[in-house]
Structure 1
Amino acid sequence: MRQGNKMSCVWAALSALVVLFSAEDALGKTVTGHFKSEAARQQRGQFITKFMFQGDYGLLVCRLEDWALATEKESRLLLYQDMDLDNLSCLQRLSRAEISISLSQEETNQTIPQQPYPTAWHALYADRYTCKHSEVIPSHADLPFTVLMFNADSAGNPLEHFSAEEAGLHSFYFVLLLAYFIAGCIYMQPLYQALRKGGPMHTVLKVLTAVQAFQCCSALCNYIHLARYSRDGVGLPLMGSLAQLWDMVSQGSMLYMLLSLCVGWGLARGKKPGSRPLQWERSRASTAGCVGAVLTQAVLLLWDQYSDSEGELFQAGLSAPALLLTVLRAALVLLLASVLYQVTSTERSALKRDFYLCFTKGCFLWFLCQPILSLTSGLFNHHQRDKVVAIGVILCQSISMVTLYQLFLSRSLYWEVSSLSSVSLPLTMSRSSHRGGY
């Protein structure tokens, strides 16, 4: 299929972009790198990592390969809680550190004070050259380091690599994968039979199934990454990047399908009133518009992911790509609402209107869950916001997928809306007046 080949090229390009833009996670709980005097001077303290400690027995461990050089440079590791340092001078910024750790040993252990509630701590590196711009930085080699940060585990020992905003995600992905497995065991066979028999919505069913498979792959990659992460604080960055890639592919596939259906829907209604709803439009103009929207969303998602990994200190509020993504999704919702109004205002069949409304609800839930959850997450504590958005989006999009599956596989709705009425279908949503016939 031509469209399939085109989309394959798009996904291949996205894969290359993800590999190119993948960066070392600055928020990792086992961080390796180099302390650099030049970077510390330019940034008024070289940003190392961030960790959200909670409860008692928080621990930071710093290991150096050349502690003698660190002693000569008067190297320090500075820890800050959430606060605004942008308007402070270099000396004021260094003096505001809640904890200053002198790096004069091969391994330095620092216990974090008791936290009454989860608090984010930021680690910066500084030395004798950071604020003394008149001094020339000697051509010393950079200092290789390893920084580990721990929270207390269930037994009270500082062995937990997950910070407060990540705690519980590992268990969530395990439950999600278990739910996918159970649903697959129940519905895989009847869905496979439905796909083999075809029908007017065969392409839609294939795309929905592919999107669900992509989401399952993303959840599996996240689970594998977090399982390893819980042991060493590093995880498998490649699996994390693959999880983002699968999620991006699922978002793009869903967007392409819904735009193709909506654009074709409006064109079909204008050219052939009374024809089957949700026609898959294959014209060059509509295909170009759909692919353009998918690529725009992909670029914004990559930009958002890349900006999060740059380690900007004390960044607050929504980022520019996140705001643009919200605007894009709002525009798509307005497009869909406009098409819905045009169709339902002239539609006489109550069954078809019900079909259109169910389709629109599923689309609205898919597109609006991200911005709505991002806005409402402000009602929760800071360490809960990311988890609320991540878990909420997955659950809402899963509900959207189930709604669309029920819609396109329901024999009662398609009895009049389409010719898909002779297939043995799962996830039926039959009306009471038709139950006796099935």
Structure 2
Amino acid sequence: MYYLITALVAFTSCPPAAFGKTVTGLFKSGVARERDGQFITRFMYQGDKGLVVCRLPNAPLAVEKESRLLMYRDMDKGLDNLSCSERLAKADLTISLTLEEHNQTIPHQASPTAWQALYADRYTCQDGGPIPAQSDLSFTVLLFNADAAGNPLEHFSADQTGLHSFYFLLLLAYFLAACIYVQPLYQALRKGGPMHMALKVLSTALALQGGSALCNYVHLARYSRDGVGLPLMGGLAEFLDSVSQVSMLYMLLSLCMGWTLSRGRKPQSRPLQWDSSPASTAVTIGGALTQGFLLLWEQYSDAWADHRSYHAQRSLPGILLMVLRVGLALLLASVLYQIISTERSALKRDFYLSFAKGCFLWFLCHPALVLTSIVLNQHQQEKMVTIGVVLFQSISVVILYQLFLSRSLYWEVSSLSSVSLPLTMSRANTRGRY
């Protein structure tokens, strides 16, 4: 329980999963000098009537410091090779901060374009010399795209638009599915059976996915109004999704590795049953802990950057996480190949093939979508990965549910009495069919 609480605190302390912007903080002359300009935020503008608003409680101090807000369109890597003064001169827009509120319209964007905001003042390019002790300047920066009515009121960056509607539709689909299937599933779980533990873990993972979608929707709904959202809900959504990932990994490895490591003593007629031998437990727990560690590391690595979608995962731990998923998919492929190659029953082979589809879809959808998104425009990449991962993993869960609750395939694989099977017919009817 202590480790679960620690992980929850770590995830919820991370920045929210969406950008789009109301940014508050301090303009710091020392930071601006060290980095040739203090990075404030990044925002992707699209179309006309893009707007940046900067509010200063202490305008006289900003005038004294000759404060400026610099806007760069698609900052080139070549800026790193320029001197401080040349770097500042390359800004596409320069806003001199002399008033309590500044409103700057962004030029028309032929296509969605990322802009970055930097702060600079009279001390930024000085080689030395003291900086006044009371030099930090509090600020609020708001960034807007035009909404459907053409007014600059949309807080979402161009690469985040549509996610709010997506999570609403996803929650609606979860609700309708729950209304239809929750009672049969509850009855199946009450009756038990050879796949009882797998169904419990699968149901837990699906519930965690639904909770993550709900948290994301609440965060984005609030975010659409104030540009801040609920960072706690955004972090909680990431935490629930990560626990769901670990739960699914634990279940799939337990089913496959339990059979493989125990095939010398497990009857051939009962493969893919939950096994708790020391060897299989060590493998499954090790894999789950490794994935959990990489997920936590990925969140911490982005905590100090301008955090975007946690499905993007282009940091080092994110890349390692995708490599792990590919490796696990190959491991499960080898295990299932051993099972299928020695199986004579066509019905059982169909069961294993369907199980393999669900496994591979869960593990490989993320790496495949990241690779596919490379050919898309920048503002489409993260939306495609985020939406695609959620949809494909949901389809994977549906495949596994259908498989585990299927009466005929279930009977053939388990070779147990029909009395212990969920969603079965009477013993007489079962004898008549089989």
Structure-2 separation of matches of 1:25 and 1:399: 23
Unaligned runs of 5+ in 1: 1-7, 429-433
Indicate which of 157, 162, 181 corresponds to 1:187. Answer: 181
Counterpart residue number, 2:158: 164
- The answer (yes or no) to whether the contact 1:26–1:48 under 8 Å persists in 2 is no
Give the distance between the partners of 1:271 and 1:208, measured in 2 at CA.
26
Change (3 A) 1:32 1:384: same
2:381 is aligned to: 385
- 1:308-319 pair list within 5 angstroms: 308-311=302-305, 318-319=314-315
Q: Larger relative contact order (C-alpha < 8 A, sep ≥ 6)?
A: 2
Maintained 8 Å contact 1:22/1:306:
yes
**Is 1:18 matched with 2:18?**
no
State the alpha-carbon separation in 2 of the partners of residues 10 and 381 from structure 1.
40
State the distance in 2 between where 1:10 and 1:421 align.
Answer: 41
Alpha-carbon contact 2:56-2:99 (below 8 Å) kept: yes
Displacement after TM superposition at 1:255 (Å): 0.7
- Aligned-pair CA distance for 1:381: 1.3
Residue deviations 1:85-128, cap 9 Å, x none?
A: 33322222111110111111100110000111110100011111
Give secondary structure in 1 for the equivalent of 2:150.
coil
Partner of 1:271, secondary structure, is coil
How far 1:304 sits from its partner (Å)?
2.2
After TM superposition, the structure 1 stretch with the greater mean CA deviation from structure 2, 327-336 or 269-278, is 269-278
Counterparts of 2:268 and 2:122 in 1: how far apart (Å)? 78
Please state if 1:322 is matched with 2:305.
no
- 1:282 offset after TM fit, Å? 1.4
Q: Is the 8 A contact 1:26 1:311 kept in 2?
A: no
Whichever residue aligns with residue 210 of structure 1, its letter is T
Task: Provide the C-alpha distance between the structure 2 equivalents of 1:91 and 1:296, rounded to a whole number of angstroms.
Answer: 46
- 2-structure distance, mates of 1:141, 1:54: 35
- Equivalent-residue separation in structure 1 for 2:293 and 2:132 (angstroms): 41
- Contact 1:26–1:309 (CA under 8 A) maintained in structure 2: no
Cα distance in 2 between the residues matched to 1:313 and 1:132: 31
**Aligned pair in 2 of structure 1 residues 26, 367: CA closer, same or farther (>3 Å)?**
closer
- Map 1:49-88 onto structure 2 (within 5 A): 49-82=41-74, 83-84=76-77, 85-88=79-82
Task: Give 1:260 deviation, angstroms.
Answer: 1.3
Structure 2 counterpart of 1:179, which letter? A
Map residues 322-341 of structure 1 onto 2, 5 A cutoff. 322-341=318-337
TM-score by length of 1: 0.91
Contact between 1:268 and 1:279, CA under 8 Å: does it hold in 2?
Answer: no
- TM-score, structure 2 as length reference: 0.92
Which consecutive unaligned segments of at least 5 residues does structure 2 have? none
Structure 1 segment 345-364 matched on structure 2, within 5 A:
345-364=341-360
**Cross-structure match for 1:43:** 35
**Equivalent of 2:250 in 235, 256, 281:** 256
AA matched with 1:65: P
Evaluate the alpha carbon distance shift between residue 87 and residue 318 of structure 1 in structure 2; reply closer, same or farther with a 3 A threshold.
farther
Tell me: CA distance 1:252–1:340, structure 2 relative to 1, closer, same or farther (3 Å). Answer: same
CA contact (8 A) 1:47 1:313 kept: no
- Deviation of 1:338 after TM superposition, in Å, equals 1.1
Distance in structure 2 (CA, Å) of the matches to 1:194 and 1:25: 36
Q: Does 1:32 align with 2:32?
A: no
Instruction: Quote the Cα distance in structure 2 between the aligned partners of 1:25 and 1:424.
Output: 40
CA offset at residue 380 of structure 1?
Answer: 1.4
Residue pair 1:30, 1:149 contacting (<8 A) in 2 also: yes
Residues 77 and 101 in structure 1, CA contact (< 8 A), matched pair in contact too:
yes
Alignment of 1:29-428 (within 5 A): 29-82=21-74, 83-84=76-77, 85-311=79-305, 318-418=314-414, 419=416, 421-422=418-419, 423=421, 425=423
User: What letter is aligned with 1:15?
Assistant: L
- Tell me if the contact between 2:19 and 2:307 (Cα under 8 Å) persists in the aligned partners: no
Structure 1 ranges of 4+ moved more than 6 A: none
Moved more, 293-302 or 116-125: 293-302
Count of matched residue pairs: 422
Deviations 1:112-157 (A, max 9, x none): 0011111010001111111112222111241110000001111111
CA distance in 1, matches of 2:120, 2:18: 17
Identity value in percent = 66
Give the Cα–Cα distance (whole angstroms) in 2 for the partners of residues 50 and 161 of structure 1: 12
Over 3 Å counting, the alpha-carbon distance change for 1:309 and 1:270 in structure 2 is same
